[in-house]
């Protein structure tokens, strides 16, 4: 059960204030003072009721005064959702029982609506239990009921000479009606601020309305419902707003206008539409059109064309120096290799074309003249943060297994949550990725790794361990070490997420401990040990990156970091100079970042020795400022200086320069020409 702390604190404060008001009024009533409304001042202590009411109203207004961002959506925790809907159904049912005492048409209508609303809330509980979003019509039924309820109440109150005695009940009914209305609006992107404002007010006034009321059970149930909802419903940044406009660059408009002018429907499609709705600047723009490749070539005969994808229906056009891919509306059939379609067939409508795409958030198209095409409600999924496959997920992933890994990347990058069927298919069909070209897998991994969090790595472990099988043994592997609270894979996930968003460092973090399983043993006390695991992990990482056909420079850098990740660096200038000479500045800085992420990701709660990293960085900065001598090239003399002294070319000259470098790094010699030449003469003579 997930509770939003700030929302809960404010809502509970309103509930406490309402309970205090309720208790005060009960005290007055038991003492013989008829105090059913805050306007009656027949008891001096009633001033406390006024103060509490005014203070609560002021607090609710104060916390609700700041306009909520338009970029909010709401998230309902599943368990509190069930509790809240059941509480509401009990409250509404109890109210219906009272309403059926009369025979007036209004009473009967309100009773029928109340029963339907109660059934709707029970249905909502089931939907939430199944992790499905309840339809907003359920809340609409509640709104209608709560609109009829104050009318019925007013008929009862108007028969009493002192209507002011029921001011709490009247205000509570109005607040309930408005909060239910804005709760309904939330399902359609309404104001979260107004919902909180009225729901918290309803909590207070429902509790305050209990004394002297024949419907105390109803007000209590409604207060509980509103309290739970306002504690567990909280805002998160939305991915889009419904009013966001898509503005296409001029060169894209030129292409669309040219196709439309020739009588062919044309749309911007896919990722560029998605990114535009998210407020991002697309890296490129793809168009789809009713024109065939030959017709596209005719329309753009005055432009430079790239015809590499013509057989698949794609013609690329260069406009104002920008490349725009234009593809004919098409359908595809049969994917025997889980990658390439067995056939491509041109179609006439954009809806047919969008039906072949991977996810609903990518199956959207936009035309400045024809409007928005979204047959699979991708815009709604994007707004609600849902990743959903187009059609049957298994079919989509059988067509191209790389969509599984791409789906993980989309979910991570855009903060989307895969819906149940899509996520299940991604995990169940992950073995299909074994048939993919390794270069394609590496490309996706390189895009994904800088984005992932611990939660992502744990959630999508079945996918990641499929593309890197060497990670599978690390899942749930108990390290039996007092220095590690996590299993091996969870530790790897924490290190990877803690590492900077540098591809080489993150790859090294992901693979830095994969050799632990193969070298693991337990001593007589049961403690686990991993002798030489850094070197074994480096060898395994080298084989993995060779298999994935990683660039040589990247592979070597990652392996170097893994090999050295257990290296103990001390805050000593002499030692740091020596290691800088071997590793270089870039590798040394990356190694420190990897080690720091590793040290801080053990989960034991015991402070590790991380202060030395700050000291080492300070010393490295001093060495940088001093232009420290790190390699033979940094010496004040070179081989030509030794040759000028009359020495013959030989391996001894290289040994001499290496000796001089060591002496300078050990601060036994200054890096000055005369001192170095003197020391060189002695070395070569001996």
Contacts of 161 by beta carbon, 8 Å cutoff, 6+ apart? none
Encode pLDDT of 463-512 as tens digits: 999 999 999 999 999 999 888 889 999 999 999 999 999 999 999 999 99
User: Would you state the pLDDT for residue 475?
Assistant: 94
Q: Is the pLDDT of residue 51 over 80?
A: no
Q: How far apart are CA 198 and CA 94, in angstroms?
A: 22
Is the pLDDT higher at 188 or at 683?
683
| Helices 192-208, 167-186: inter-axial angle, 10-degree rounding | 150
User: Would you state the pLDDT for residue 139?
Assistant: 56
With CA atoms as reference, report the closest residue to 240 among 421, 420, 377. Answer: 377
192-206, 531-545, 591-605, range with greatest mean pLDDT: 531-545
Q: Is the pLDDT of residue 587 over 80?
A: yes
Q: Is the pLDDT of residue 196 over 80?
A: no
Q: Supply the DSSP string of 620-662, one letter for each residue.
A: HHHHHHTT---SGGGSS--HHHHHHTTPPPSHHHHHHHHHHHH
Contacts of 484 by beta carbon, 8 Å cutoff, 6+ apart? 491, 602, 603, 604
User: Would you state the pLDDT for residue 548?
Assistant: 95
Q: Is the pLDDT of residue 644 over 80?
A: no
The structure tokens 């009990």 sit at 90
User: Would you state the pLDDT for residue 539?
Assistant: 95
**Whole-number percent of the chain with pLDDT over 90:** 36
Contacts of 474 by beta carbon, 8 Å cutoff, 6+ apart? 487, 488, 489, 492, 513, 514, 516, 517
CATH assignment of 250-392? Answer: 3.30.460.10
The residue-averaged pLDDT of 564-589 equals 82
Domain 449-608 maps to which CATH number in 1.10.3470, 1.10.8, 3.30.1540, 1.10.3210? Answer: 1.10.3210
Residue 359 CB coordination number (10 Å): 26
Q: Supply the DSSP string of 354-405, one letter for each residue.
A: HTTSSBGGGS-EEETTTEEE-TT-HHHHHHHTEE-BSS-HHHHHHH-THHHH
Q: Binning pLDDT at 50, 70 and 90, where does residue 70 land?
A: very low
Contacts of 576 by beta carbon, 8 Å cutoff, 6+ apart? 569, 588, 616, 619, 620, 623
199-208, 245-254, 597-606, range with greatest mean pLDDT: 245-254
The residue-averaged pLDDT of 544-555 equals 95
Q: How far apart are CA 174 and CA 150, in angstroms?
A: 7
Q: Which residues pair with 72 in a beta bridge?
A: 237
User: Would you state the pLDDT for residue 494?
Assistant: 93
Q: Is the pLDDT of residue 640 over 90?
A: no
207-211, 216-220, 552-556, range with greatest mean pLDDT: 552-556
Is the pLDDT higher at 320 or at 653?
320
Encode pLDDT of 341-358 as tens digits: 555 788 888 998 999 899
| Helices 438-448, 402-414: inter-axial angle, 10-degree rounding | 10
Q: How far apart are CA 279 and CA 385, in angstroms?
A: 15
Is the pLDDT higher at 642 or at 235?
642
Whether residue 405 contacts residue 359, with contact meaning beta carbons closer than 8 Å, is answered with no
Q: How far apart are CA 568 and CA 595, in angstroms?
A: 9
The structure tokens 């959630």 sit at 459
Q: Which residues pair with 286 in a beta bridge?
A: 269, 325
Q: Is the pLDDT of residue 410 over 90?
A: yes
Q: Is the pLDDT of residue 398 over 80?
A: yes
For residue 478, give the 3-state DSSP assignment. Answer: coil
Backbone dihedral angles phi then psi of residue 74, each to the nearest 5 degrees: -120, 150
Least confident of 178-182, 390-394, 508-512: 178-182
Q: Binning pLDDT at 50, 70 and 90, where does residue 161 land?
A: very low
């Amino acid at each position: 059960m997930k509770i939003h702390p700030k929302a809960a604190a404010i809502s509970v404060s309103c509930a406490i204030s309402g309970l205090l008001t309720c208790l005060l009024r009960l005290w007055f009533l038991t003492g013989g003072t008829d105090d059913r409304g805050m306007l009656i001042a027949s008891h001096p202590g009633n001033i406390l009721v006024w103060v509490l009411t005014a203070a609560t109203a002021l607090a609710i207004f104060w916390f609700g005064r700041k306009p909520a961002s338009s970029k909010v959506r709401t998230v309902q925790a599943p368990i509190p959702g069930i509790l809240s809907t059941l509480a509401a159904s009990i409250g509404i049912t109890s109210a219906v029982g009272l309403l059926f005492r009369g025979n007036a048409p209004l009473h009967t209508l309100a009773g029928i609506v109340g029963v339907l609303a109660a059934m709707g809330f029970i249905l909502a509980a089931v939907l939430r239990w199944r992790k499905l979003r309840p339809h907003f019509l359920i809340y609409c039924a509640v709104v209608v009921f709560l609109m009829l309820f104050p009318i019925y109440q007013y008929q009862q109150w108007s028969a009493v000479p002192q209507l002011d005695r029921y001011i709490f009940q009247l205000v509570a009914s109005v607040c309930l009606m408005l909060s239910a209305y804005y709760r309904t609006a939330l399902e359609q992107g309404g104001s979260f601020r107004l919902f909180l404002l009225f729901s918290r007010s309803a909590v207070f006034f429902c509790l305050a309305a209990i004394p002297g009321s024949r419907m105390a059970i109803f007000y209590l149930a409604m207060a509980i419902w509103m309290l739970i909802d306002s504690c567990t419903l909280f805002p998160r940044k939305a991915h889009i707003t419904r009013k966001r406009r898509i503005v296409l660059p001029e060169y894209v408009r030129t292409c669309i206008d040219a196709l439309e002018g020739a009588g062919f429907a044309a749309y911007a499609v896919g990722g560029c539409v998605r990114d535009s709705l998210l407020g991002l600047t697309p890296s490129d723009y793809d168009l789809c059109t009713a024109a065939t490749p030959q017709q596209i070539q005719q329309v753009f005969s005055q432009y430079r064309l790239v015809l590499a994808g013509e057989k698949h229906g794609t013609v690329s056009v260069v406009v104002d120096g920008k490349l725009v891919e234009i593809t004919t509306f098409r359908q595809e059939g049969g994917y025997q290799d889980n990658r390439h379609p067995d056939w491509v067939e041109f179609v006439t409508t954009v809806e047919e074309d969008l039906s072949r795409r991977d996810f609903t958030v990518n199956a959207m198209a936009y035309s400045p003249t024809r409007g928005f095409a979204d047959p699979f409600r991708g815009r709604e999924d994007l707004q609600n943060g849902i990743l959903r496959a187009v059609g049957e997920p298994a079919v989509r992933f059988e067509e191209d297994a790389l969509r599984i890994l791409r789906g993980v990347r989309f979910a991570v990058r855009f903060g989307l949550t895969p819906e149940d069927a899509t996520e299940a298919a991604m995990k169940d069909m992950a073995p299909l990725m074994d048939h993919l070209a390794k270069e394609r897998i590496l490309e996706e991994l390189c895009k994904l790794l800088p984005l992932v969090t611990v939660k992502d790595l744990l959630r999508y472990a079945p996918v990641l361990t499929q593309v890197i099988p060497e990670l599978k043994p690390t899942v749930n592997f108990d390290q039996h070490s007092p220095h590690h609270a996590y299993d091996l894979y969870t530790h790897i996930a924490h290190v990877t997420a803690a590492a900077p968003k540098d591809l080489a460092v993150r790859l090294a973090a992901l693979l830095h401990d994969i050799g632990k399983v193969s070298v693991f043993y337990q001593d007589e006390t049961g403690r686990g040990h991993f002798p030489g695991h850094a070197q074994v992990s480096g060898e395994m990482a080298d084989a993995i990156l060779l298999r994935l056909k990683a660039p040589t420079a990247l592979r070597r850098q990652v392996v170097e970091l893994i090999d050295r990740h257990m290296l103990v660096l001390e805050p000593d200038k002499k030692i740091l100079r020596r290691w800088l000479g071997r590793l270089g500045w870039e590798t040394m800085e990356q190694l420190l970042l990897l080690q720091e992420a590793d040290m801080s990701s053990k989960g034991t709660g015991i402070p590790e020795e991380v202060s030395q990293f700050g000291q080492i960085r300070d010393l490295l900065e001093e060495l940088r400022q001093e232009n420290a001598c790190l390699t033979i090239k940094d010496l004040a003399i070179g081989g030509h200086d030794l040759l000028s002294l009359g020495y013959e070319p030989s391996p001894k000259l290289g040994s001499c320069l290496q000796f001089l470098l060591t002496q300078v790094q050990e601060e036994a010699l200054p890096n000055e020409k005369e001192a170095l030449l003197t020391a060189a003469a002695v070395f070569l003579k001996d």
